[in-house]
Amino acid sequence: MSRGTGRAAVDAEVAQEATYGSLPLLKQERSWSAGDFSWVTLSLAIATWAFLTGGSTVLLVGFTDGIAAMLIGNSIGLAIMVLGSVVLSQRLGVEQYRALKSVFGIVGVGIVVFVVVLLTEMGWTSLLGVMFGRAFSEISNQAFGTEFEQFGPLVTVFALVAIFVGWIILSRGPVTISKLNRFVAPGLLVVVALMMVLLMSNYSWGELLAAEPIAPFPDEQLNFMMAVEFNLGAGLSWWPVMGTLSRLTRGPRAAVWPAYAGILVGTVVAQLVGMAAGLLFGQADPTSWMVPLGGPILGVLTLLFVGFANVTSMASIAYSTVLAVKQSSGKALAKLRWPALAAAFLALPAILSFFPGFMYEQFMTFVVISGAFIAALCGVIIADYFILRRQVVPLRALYASGPDDPLRFTGGVNIAALASVAIASVFYLWVYNPITLDTQALFSFGTATVPAVLIAMVSHVILSHLLYVRRGRGAYGEPDLFAAAGRK
């Protein structure tokens, strides 16, 4: 290796550590404009899980009720998600799970990551891989006359291919993800618009409005509220990734509005198509109706493009999750290179891909259960950052360690925060149990998410005052020492 090549390799490694590590990014180091971030969020939102979410919604309700449930659920869920992730990370310029040390403590963040985040994102990543596999098995059946099973071995093979390609993209970092999404997002908008045109040219508006839900329960009000709750969970499901991605934006406006509006618009557009096609074809799975809708040529091309979009979405999800694992593992994974750590995470969804029918069959349950815990987490974060800290976090304390760490709380764990998450999550599952489908009266007009967020907020404020604030612990009320040092 020449001297110049060796220096370039060292410079690349330093740049990689700055990007993938936990150091705060200065304003001039942040590369994504509002437009860049909008393409990222649009591409994420229009990936085929939005079609699947739309199709799953009309299992319970018809088209008009589905639109209402989608708009109510996503608009509220995304607002909670943005306040609980994007604002904190973007303003500090710090990776989300490093910033959350101020909320949960360094050990507490590890508990959140390995108990909630890792399992949730492993599920979403495996789902995207299986959807990719379903798309390509359907392409084979349509183009070559094969008769591969809906969740047969070929689905697993293609899911593994998708995960491998996702690893290649992920290994190259967030800049590559952004560049790919500039191509993928506009293409997906065209695909979605084309599918809606095809639907409306083959079916009348009256047929769409008259179409019955695919598999509703007898109680219409319960069906509607369950659809709203499902879409609330879908909106909240962006929480594990959006804080870290927003860290790469140039300012608050470049982060908050693209994170909210970009995902909302993309989700609404794709879900509308998923709902309409699901009702008219009687299939919630988008890979089942794309070829019958678009024909053997256009349908196959659509599946190819949407399948590729799943891979870029997978890379975006894995990027934030791998960062979370890296930052929460302490010294255990500190020396492990980024590509190796990314491969270690993606190995978990790869294992799940050998059971391709599992995530599809449990999709709605998975979204709602993960939403229960994320709602509680967001409530605690909102209360901590906006109420207790009044949007001032001692930045240097995020990197302190040992007994002198002002964010040590109780042995590195903020008991008030984790207890509040547990209380709110249990309350959520009492109001609405997505496994048994048992509900309380509150669910019929208040959902389970909104009261759970409020309970998490109130509980955290009360417990924090009892355990930490009045005792001068937890760095509550301390000035932003980093900002103060910068003004000298």
Q: Would you state the structure tokens that stand for residue 476, as one six-digit string?
A: 């509550």
Nearest to 274 by CA among 208, 215, 219: 208
Residue with more model confidence, 137 or 425: 425
Helix orientation angle between 239-246 and 118-144, rounded to the nearest 10 degrees: 100
Angle among Cα 68, 71, 76 to the nearest 5 degrees reads 125
What is the pTM assigned to this prediction? 0.86
Which amino acid, 134? R
**69 and 271 in contact (C-beta within 8 Å)?**
no
pLDDT of 197 higher than 50: yes
8: pLDDT confidence band, cut at 50, 70 and 90? very low
Q: What tens digit of pLDDT does each residue of 433-482 get?
A: 999 989 999 999 999 999 999 999 999 999 999 999 999 899 897 665 54
pLDDT bracket for residue 173 (50, 70, 90): low
Pairwise CA distance, residues 15 & 342, whole Å:
17
* Spatial distance between the Cα atoms of 467 and 473, rounded to a whole number of angstroms: 8
HEC-encoded secondary structure of 305-334: HHHHHHHHHHHHHHHHHHHHHHHHCCCCCC
Which of 173, 169, 120 lies closest to 349 in space, CA to CA?
Answer: 120
Three-state DSSP class for residue 51: helix
For residues 98 and 2, the model is more confident at 98
Cβ contact 251:27 at 8 Å: yes
pLDDT tens for 81-98 read 999 999 998 888 888 888
Amino acid at site 101: K
Residue 182 has a pLDDT of: 66
Q: Which residues pair with 413 in a beta bridge?
A: 410
Q: Are 266 and 45 in contact (CB under 8 A)?
A: yes
SS3 of residue 473 by DSSP: coil
Instruction: List domains and CATH numbers for the chain.
Output: 41-361 (1.10.4160.10)
Helix 286-328 and helix 118-144: axis angle, to 10°?
150
CA geometry: angle at 482 spanning 478 and 484, to 5°?
A: 75
Is-contact 135 280, C-beta < 8 A?
no
pLDDT at 4 over 90: no
Checking if the pLDDT of 339 tops 90, the result is no
- The reported pLDDT for the residue numbered 292 is 82
DSSP conformational letter for 396: G
Query: Token digits for 318?
Result: 């894995």
Helices of type H across 113-238: 118-144, 153-171, 174-202, 205-210, 220-236
CA–CA distance, 486 with 194 (Å, rounded to integer): 52
Of 363, 322, 348, nearest to 134 (Cα)?
Answer: 363
Q: How many Cβ atoms sit within 10 Å of the Cβ of residue 356? A: 27
Query: Which residues pair with residue 410 across a beta bridge?
Result: 413
Mean pLDDT, to the nearest integer, of 317-337?
78
Residue 12 confidence (pLDDT):
39
Write b or e for each residue in 415-436: b if 16 or more Cβ atoms lie within 10 A of its Cβ, otherwise e: bbbbebbebbbebbbebbbbee
pLDDT in tens, 389-425: 999 898 888 888 888 888 999 999 999 999 999 999 9
Which of 245, 234, 201, 241 lies closest to 38, judged by CA? Answer: 245
SS3 91: helix
Note the pLDDT of residue 24.
Answer: 57
| pLDDT tens figures, 249-258 | 877 778 888 8
> How confident is the model at residue 257, as a pLDDT?
85
Which range has the worst mean pLDDT, 137-146, 155-164, 191-200, 235-244? Answer: 137-146
